[in-house]
Amino acid sequence: MKLKAPVDVKWIASFVNAQLLGDDRVQADGINEVHKITPGDISFVDIEKYYNRLLESEAAVIIMNKVVPCPKGKALLITEDPAAAYVKLVKHFAPFEPATQMISNSAEIGEGTIIQPGVFVGNNVKIGTNCLIHAGVVIYDGTTIGNNVTIQGNSVIGGDAFYFNKRNHSELKYLKLESCGTTLIEDDVEIGACCTIDRGVSGVTIIGKGTKFDNFIHIGHGTIVGKNCLFAAQVGVAGKVIIGDNVLLYGQVGVSKDLVIESNTVVLAKSGVGKSLPGGKVWFGIPVQDAKDKMEELVWVKRIPELWDKMKSEF
């Protein structure tokens, strides 16, 4: 998330009550979690395996819980609870704005778009031309929807990310990392009934042009779905997944977080994707594997009783 204006690191340190190390002249112009860093960002780290990743990133201000040498041109803010400091900043710069009506006055709705009764359209939403939004749909603040998009009833677009920081030092078991990202639905997309597409924690969740979703599909925070993809019912995709163009996911496919599924991939029904997949192949199974190999394996599994009886008769 980019800020409206750069912020001085001395003010940030005072606001989150942190010790300032490094360059005290630094200014920050954005807030991002570790996976979405851009130049000039504020970010945080409280897990040692991510220390170097963030220190070597383009972040200008790093909130962390350990004193380390500060890279040139950066500022470190040392605090016992970096996640809480990050959340405090997000709430300050992206505060929740309560709705006062079903369709916000700040929403922009294009010519020819039909909004059925019972649709909620939040603040600063942009909807293009010739869209059809069916009853019961909820479109959260900051969402952008392109032209010729259809959204079937009771789907939720741009809800908060499922993103929590586990606590080891307080009665609160999990701290919610507030979402300040957005959601982008490109042109010619169709979203079925009862789908949920979460916005990014600090970046953008994108559904590419021409992609079609069946009913009861979930897309996690910060995931990017390419163009002309086809997802059947009950597909679930976790956060920060990158899916290429022309990908076909059959019913009840589950995709784990932080993976890449390359273009022209097909994953057959009820498969569990726990690794990144090269494009142009068909996959199947839990865990997923080459579909042809999996089918051959299933043939042999069905023959186990026959082979077992044969083995017993020979001994």
Please list the active-site residues.
221
Contact present, 210 and 227 (Cβ < 8 Å): yes
User: Which of 239, 231, 221, 211 has its CA nearest to residue 271?
Assistant: 231
Could you tell me how far CA 266 lies from the centroid of its own chain? 21
Q: Report d(CA 142, CA 231) in Å as an integer.
A: 25
How would you class 222 by CB atoms within 10 Å of its CB: exposed for 0-12, middle for 13-18, buried for 19 or more?
buried
Contact present, 205 and 184 (Cβ < 8 Å): yes
Sign (positive or negative) of CA dihedral 291, 295, 296, 301? positive
Indicate the angle between helix axes 82-93 and 9-16, nearest 10 degrees.
Answer: 110
User: Which of 153-181 are b and which e, b meaning 16 or more Cβ less than 10 Å from the residue's Cβ?
Assistant: bbbbbbbbbbbebeeeeeeeeebebbbbb
